[in-house]
Amino acid sequence: MYTIVAAFMFWRASKNYDVVLALMLNDFYYVETAASRKLKNGFWSWCWRFIVASFDYYMLSILWPLLRTFVTSHLWLRLRYGFRQTEVVFRAPTGREYDNMIALPPAQFQQAWQASLLHATSRQFLMGNTGFNTRSPPWNLCYTASTDAYHLANSGQFDLNNWEVSVWQKNEYQQWTVWETWKHQDPTLSTKTLIIMKEKLLAEGREEFVGKWETLLVEQANMALVASELTPAMKQLIQSGNNLFKEEGLDFGELWLDAISEAHRIQNQPASDFQHGNAASRESAGYLP
């Protein structure tokens, strides 16, 4: 795409380079000189040429920043480090989409923010896109961080095998929290996490709340079977789940992180330790003779 943009820019610049250059330099003498040369072809001919040149100048002013950004970021990264088996990609919320999101009312901002995070970290999106294609507005690629990461790897200061896919986010207390998507996108681990959360909520006597939540989870699962992408209806359903937890005075994010950490610990616990732990708990509860 950027090759086409570059070719178009050079083609249009070559057609009216003298007038475009005069406009860029703001050199009215140069414009008058160019005009005197072209007036011999007719006044309206020169007017048409000036209109076309003004359009070219406008197009170049729009396309040049895009091309310059591409050359100094993605192209430079590829020329310097090439295509690697392990791609280090950093994404940060930037651009017009992020500015528009910031301008939203608080409730709409939270909904749009959560939806953008869910899409940027969805399993389908990450499995189907790599490298440059992992941008998901407002989550755009940060090439400076990727360049620094490759530099650290080449100098032996860091092993690329240690990288995990993650999203960092500041919470309401201005503390950084990390979304370990390699955990969140594991279907087995997610199922165990839901079970742990339900058990904890039931232990607190929240049977009615768990029933409402399970209804939303069933609806969400049915929608996921029909649509592979995150639809507006699914976003609304997810927001309804978040509101349900807020009305109950619960923090879904905190509960989920605690539960998934416990599920991950249980899943990676050696079988002997797991059996021993079960036996000990059953014995203390009076199940063993």
DSSP 3-23: HHHHHHHHHHHHHSHHHHHHH
What is the bridge-based pairing of β-strands 139-141 and 176-180? Answer: unpaired
Would you state the pLDDT for residue 282? 30
Closest listed residue to residue 52, CA positions, set 24, 25, 28, 17: 17
Query: Mean pLDDT across the stretch 222-248?
Result: 77
Query: What pLDDT shows up at residue 202?
Result: 93
Mean pLDDT calculated for residue range 230-245? 79
**SS3 label, residue 168:** strand
Amino acid letter for position 155: S
The rounded percent of the chain whose pLDDT value lies above 70 is 66
| Contact between residue 197 and residue 241 where contact means Cβ atoms under 8 Å apart | no
What is the predicted pLDDT for the residue at 176? 65
Which pLDDT does position 287 carry in this prediction?
26
Detail the DSSP E strand segments found in the chain. 91-93, 139-141, 166-170, 176-180
d(CA 75, CA 6): 13
Banded model confidence at residue 283, pLDDT cuts 50, 70, 90 = very low
Q: In this predicted structure, what is the pLDDT of residue 23?
A: 56
**Which of 247, 96, 116, 100 is closest to 169 using CA atoms?**
116
Pairing of strands 176-180, 166-170: antiparallel
pLDDT band for 83, please (50, 70, 90 cuts).
confident
73 or 215: which carries more pLDDT confidence? Answer: 215
- Under a CB-based contact definition with an 8 Å cutoff, are residues 97 and 137 in contact? yes
Q: What is the pLDDT of residues 24-70, one digit of tens each?
A: 555 444 444 454 555 455 566 667 667 777 777 777 778 778 788 88
Contact 51, 59 (CB under 8 A): no
Q: Which of 162, 155, 142 is nearest to 94 (CA)?
A: 142
CA–CA dist 13, 168 (Å, integer): 43
Q: What SS3 class is residue 178?
A: strand
Task: Please check whether residue 35 is in contact with residue 46, taking contact to mean a CB–CB distance below 8 angstroms.
Answer: yes
When the pLDDT of each residue in the chain is averaged and rounded to a whole number, the result is 74
**Coil, strand, or helix at residue 162?**
helix
Q: What is the CA radius of gyration of the chain?
A: 28
Report pLDDT for 253: 79
Question: Which pLDDT belongs to residue 195?
Answer: 92
**Contacts for 253 with CB less than 8 Å, ≥ 6 apart:** 171, 177
**Strand-pair partners of 169:** 177
Q: Does the CA dihedral 201-202-205-210 come out positive or negative?
A: positive
Distant-in-sequence, close-in-space partners of 182: CB < 8 Å, separation ≥ 6: 164, 165, 166
70: DSSP letter: H
Does the pTM exceed 0.75? no
